[in-house]
Amino acid sequence: MTDEVRAAMNELFAAERRLRGRDPHRAGDLSATQVRALFQLERGEACTAGELAKRADLSPASMTALLDQLEQSGIVERRRSEKDRRQVIVSLTDAGHEVLAAKRARIEERTREVLGVHNDEELDAAARVMRSLVELLDSLGK
């Protein structure tokens, strides 16, 4: 049974790597990395690029490039902090909130389609197993 869980975990990691590696198929569409960063920005609202990089688990250089693209698309805006003029604060624009809401709706719809075949007991068990795997992975790095 452990081998089956390990194999499924490797398949999940591979699917996640494929998702991260995919460029958007259509002009104006967001990459998985951009979506992850935007969800983190939405969750915590306005913050510095460095804070957002930490939340989204990206390097500061990657975050700067990502924000450049998102700002050009009108999805985020950067402005000087009123409290500390050395800091630049990133926030979602109204258009960014709309784009993110549409993306979230598509993700939630697809999630319901894929996970809807499982009952609550199966989903609860899957969540417990995934949390155990998180604990395993975190403990391997210590």
> What are the tens digits of pLDDT across the range 9-50?
888 888 888 877 766 555 567 888 899 899 988 887 788 999
Task: Report how far residue 65's alpha carbon sits from residue 111's, in angstroms, rounded to the nearest whole number.
Answer: 30
pTM for this predicted structure: 0.75
CATH code where residue 77 lies: 1.10.10.10
Taking phi first (over 0 means left), then psi (-120 to 50 degrees means alpha), and beta for anything else, what does residue 121 get? alpha
Query: Is the torsion defined by CA of 129, 41, 88, 29 positive or negative?
Result: positive
Q: Residue 128 in 3-state DSSP? A: helix
Q: CB atoms < 10 A from the CB of 56, how many? A: 19
Domain enclosing residue 83, as ranges? 2-140
pLDDT tens digits for 62-93?
A: 999 999 999 999 999 999 888 888 888 999 99
Model confidence at 94: pLDDT above 90: yes
Residue 130 has pLDDT above 70, yes or no: yes
Q: What's the structural domain count of the chain?
A: 1
What DSSP state is assigned to residue 84? -
